[in-house]
Amino acid sequence: MYFPKKSLRFISLFLFCLLLFIFFAIKLILIQVFNSSYLTKIADKQQTHVFNLDPKRGTIYDRKMRPLAVDVAAYSLYADPRRMGKSGAAKAAAVLPGILGISKSFFDDRLGRDKNFVWLARKLPVDKADEIRKLKIKGLHFVKESRRRYPGQYLAAHLLGFAGMDDNGLEGIELKYNRVLAGHSGVAQMLRDARQQDLLIEQILVHPQDGFDLVLTIDENIQYFAEEALQKGFAKHRPQSASLIVMNPKTGEILALVNRPTYDLNEFSQSREEQRKNHAVADMYEPGSVFKIVLASAALERGVVQETDKIFCENGEYRIANHILHDHQRHGTLTFREVMEQSSNIGVTKVAQKLGGGPVYDYALRLGFAKKTGIDIPGEVSGALKPTRFWSKTSIGAVPIGHEVGVTTIQLVCAISAIANDGVLMQPFVIKEIRDQKGEVIETFFPKIVRQAMDVTTARRVKDILTGAIERGTGKLGKMKDVLAAGKTGTAQKIVGGQYSHNQFYATFIGLAPVEDPKIAMAIVFDDPRGSHFGGTVCAPIFKEIAENVLKYLNAESTIGEKPEEQNAP
């Protein structure tokens, strides 16, 4: 049969269209039936954007609810190099280094990448973000975040620690209580347009839970007094390091904790490891004569010696086994009270020989040495004290005067606090309360008694002896005009290369005030001070300055809530 050419063309075209229709029909069926869920996911991904909602990190307050660490608004800058074009990238690379203080090569590298998203700077302050926005450079965008700020900069730096760029605590309380402060992230879904620009939040899938606030035992004003006084001493004597703690002896509350060297918490990335070290809890050293409070407590409570007993101090030289023990100045016969006031090594050693090493070791443990205090901040070390079975023939002349023993500043302040507190040793702590964002108290931390380290009478007798050490003895530079204080000085040779150095020392001082009703206890330690190296000349004046300021402040605070007639009463 013959078909015209036009008919053949029509039939061919019809068959082609039919086959094409069948192909698309099959393809459509495959897409709709077998690939629908996969393609739906792609569409959702293109039209919506799921992202985390950051919680607000909890605020850290001092005991009077003054903020020490807060979250503030910050903006992170990112770029879309593909949308910027060469001209936009060139403009951004030219102006951003001057605003952000980052090298031009950094921006040339980032903006030259073939990507839709690159970070340029994280957590910029509001003023920096506003300055960049005014440039109106295509392809530059911001993400609102928060950043940690420390209003006091250096204030209580080693106690607070800091949180890093991701808002996780990295040092100090920020690290120790990170889970309490951090909160939990939320999740939200945002709509996008065809150009992948975020439009608005469609729904919040999981609401963020803000972190809890911390209220510390620290008093911002007392911390400031301590920072200022220690800084002056640090500048004058140029030690390798220094530490200081002020504590409420009746409760164990830490009112101030200071270290030098220090650093700005807002610029922690520019600090060195040595600047960030919390020497008050992390350094162990031989305490020297401040450790004589252990011998005094044991000897008086065991009845081995009385305050008025006379002791011949050998005119400054005394042999123990193969070692010659010296005093810093020659003494003849002194009463035991005078032995402590003048810090005679020989007088103390003679009493220790009569007492025996066992009680010295026992009372050292009672006063909290050779064991961590349990303070609620990271980095604490336990110190060191050998059991008497490991003592050498000369240890009885070394341990009672503060050698062959390692202590920390926090242990020293706890020990002198026990004497101030009628022999009751308290556990030190810095966290007072945990509160939610509404100010409701979630948890309160109360004072904890560790033990009765000595009886009340013994503690008061030791306190009376230490009063003489400031009034008439080696701690006279710690004497205040209108307030009676008690304290003990200490000077110890450093061990360098396995031997005691003759030109490197630790200078220490422990004290309490006022004697009649102690409000504060203090421990001060200088590692290798220059010029003078004695605890009485280096540390005692710092104790005096801080104690005077703190007691005036506490007295003023105690009258704020009184009625007018009570304030004017005779």
> For residues 530 and 403, what is the distance between their CA atoms, to the nearest angstrom?
21
**Average pLDDT in the 509-527 region?**
97
Alpha carbon separation from 179 to 59, 184, 214 (Å, rounded) = 13, 9, 12
What residue type is 567 in one-letter code? Q
Give the lowest-confidence range in 82-96, 156-170, 469-483.
82-96
* Span 374-398, pLDDT tens digits: 999 999 999 999 999 999 999 999 9
Predicted confidence (pLDDT) at residue 33 exceeds the cutoff of 80:
no
Predicted confidence (pLDDT) at residue 141 exceeds the cutoff of 60:
yes
* Span 215-232, pLDDT tens digits: 999 999 999 999 999 999
Predicted confidence (pLDDT) at residue 508 exceeds the cutoff of 60:
yes
Predicted confidence (pLDDT) at residue 462 exceeds the cutoff of 50:
yes
Percent of the chain with pLDDT over 90: 62
For residue 65, the model assigns a pLDDT of 95
Predicted confidence (pLDDT) at residue 432 exceeds the cutoff of 80:
yes
Helix or strand (DSSP H, E) at 546 = helix 540-558
For 335, residues 6+ apart whose C-beta sits below 8 A from its C-beta are: 307, 308, 309, 310, 311
For residue 152, the model assigns a pLDDT of 93
For residue 237, the model assigns a pLDDT of 96
Mean pLDDT of the chain: 87
Helices and strands of the chain, counted as H and E runs: 20, 23
Predicted confidence (pLDDT) at residue 566 exceeds the cutoff of 60:
no
Predicted confidence (pLDDT) at residue 509 exceeds the cutoff of 80:
yes
> For residues 462 and 423, what is the distance between their CA atoms, to the nearest angstrom?
10
For 89, residues 6+ apart whose C-beta sits below 8 A from its C-beta are: 81, 111, 112, 139
Q: Are 61 and 68 in contact (CB under 8 A)?
A: yes
Three-state SS at 68:
strand
> For residues 373 and 361, what is the distance between their CA atoms, to the nearest angstrom?
17
Q: Which pair of structure tokens corresponds to residue 9? A: 């063309």
Top-confidence residue, 447 or 24: 447
> For residues 108 and 93, what is the distance between their CA atoms, to the nearest angstrom?
6
Confidence label for 1 from pLDDT (cuts 50, 70 and 90): low
Q: Which of 527, 381, 431, 526 is nearest to 159 (CA)?
A: 431
For residue 243, the model assigns a pLDDT of 97
Helix or strand (DSSP H, E) at 405 = strand 405-406
Give the lowest-confidence range in 40-49, 436-445, 482-491.
40-49
> For residues 81 and 120, what is the distance between their CA atoms, to the nearest angstrom?
11
Top-confidence residue, 563 or 548: 548
Q: Count other Cβ atoms within 10 Å, centred on residue 178.
A: 17
> For residues 479 and 519, what is the distance between their CA atoms, to the nearest angstrom?
16
User: How deeply is 168 buried, as exposed, middle or buried, from its count of CB atoms within 10 A (0-12, 13-18, 19+)?
Assistant: middle
Predicted confidence (pLDDT) at residue 492 exceeds the cutoff of 70:
yes
**How far out from the chain centre does Cα 189 lie?**
38
Q: Name the CA radius of gyration of the chain, rounded.
A: 35
**Average pLDDT in the 51-67 region?**
86
For residue 472, the model assigns a pLDDT of 94
> For residues 309 and 340, what is the distance between their CA atoms, to the nearest angstrom?
12
Confidence label for 513 from pLDDT (cuts 50, 70 and 90): very high
Alpha carbon separation from 385 to 287, 291, 369, 395, 494 (Å, rounded) = 12, 12, 8, 11, 17
For residue 75, the model assigns a pLDDT of 76
**Average pLDDT in the 122-132 region?**
81
Q: Are 444 and 472 in contact (CB under 8 A)?
A: no
For residue 37, the model assigns a pLDDT of 66
* Span 147-172, pLDDT tens digits: 889 999 999 999 999 998 777 889 99
For residue 209, the model assigns a pLDDT of 83
Residue that has been written with the tokens 């050498």 in this structure: 392
Top-confidence residue, 423 or 5: 423
Confidence label for 542 from pLDDT (cuts 50, 70 and 90): very high
DSSP code per residue over 414-469: HHHHHHHTTTEEE--B-EEEEE-TTS-EEEE----EEEE-S-HHHHHHHHHHHHHH
Sign of the Cα pseudo-torsion (235, 238, 240, 245, in order): negative
**Average pLDDT in the 7-18 region?**
74
Q: Are 402 and 286 in contact (CB under 8 A)?
A: yes
Residue that has been written with the tokens 């469609």 in this structure: 202
**Count of alpha carbons within 13 angstroms of residue 392, beta-carbon side:** 10
Q: Which pair of structure tokens corresponds to residue 71? A: 């979250």
Q: Are 475 and 482 in contact (CB under 8 A)?
A: no
The 3-class secondary structure across 436-451, one letter per residue, is: CCCCCEEEECCCCEEE
Predicted confidence (pLDDT) at residue 2 exceeds the cutoff of 60:
no
Top-confidence residue, 143 or 199: 143
For residue 48, the model assigns a pLDDT of 55
Alpha carbon separation from 199 to 140, 142, 189, 554 (Å, rounded) = 16, 14, 11, 56
Q: Which of 311, 376, 335 is nearest to 464 (CA)?
A: 335
For 388, residues 6+ apart whose C-beta sits below 8 A from its C-beta are: 357, 358, 361, 395
> For residues 560 and 570, what is the distance between their CA atoms, to the nearest angstrom?
18
> For residues 93 and 219, what is the distance between their CA atoms, to the nearest angstrom?
47
Q: Are strands 405-406 and 520-527 parallel, antiparallel or unpaired?
A: unpaired
For 295, residues 6+ apart whose C-beta sits below 8 A from its C-beta are: 348, 351, 352, 355, 360, 363, 400
Phi, psi (degrees; rounded to nearest 5) at 458:
-60, -45
Q: Count other Cβ atoms within 10 Å, centred on residue 45.
A: 11
Predicted confidence (pLDDT) at residue 564 exceeds the cutoff of 80:
no
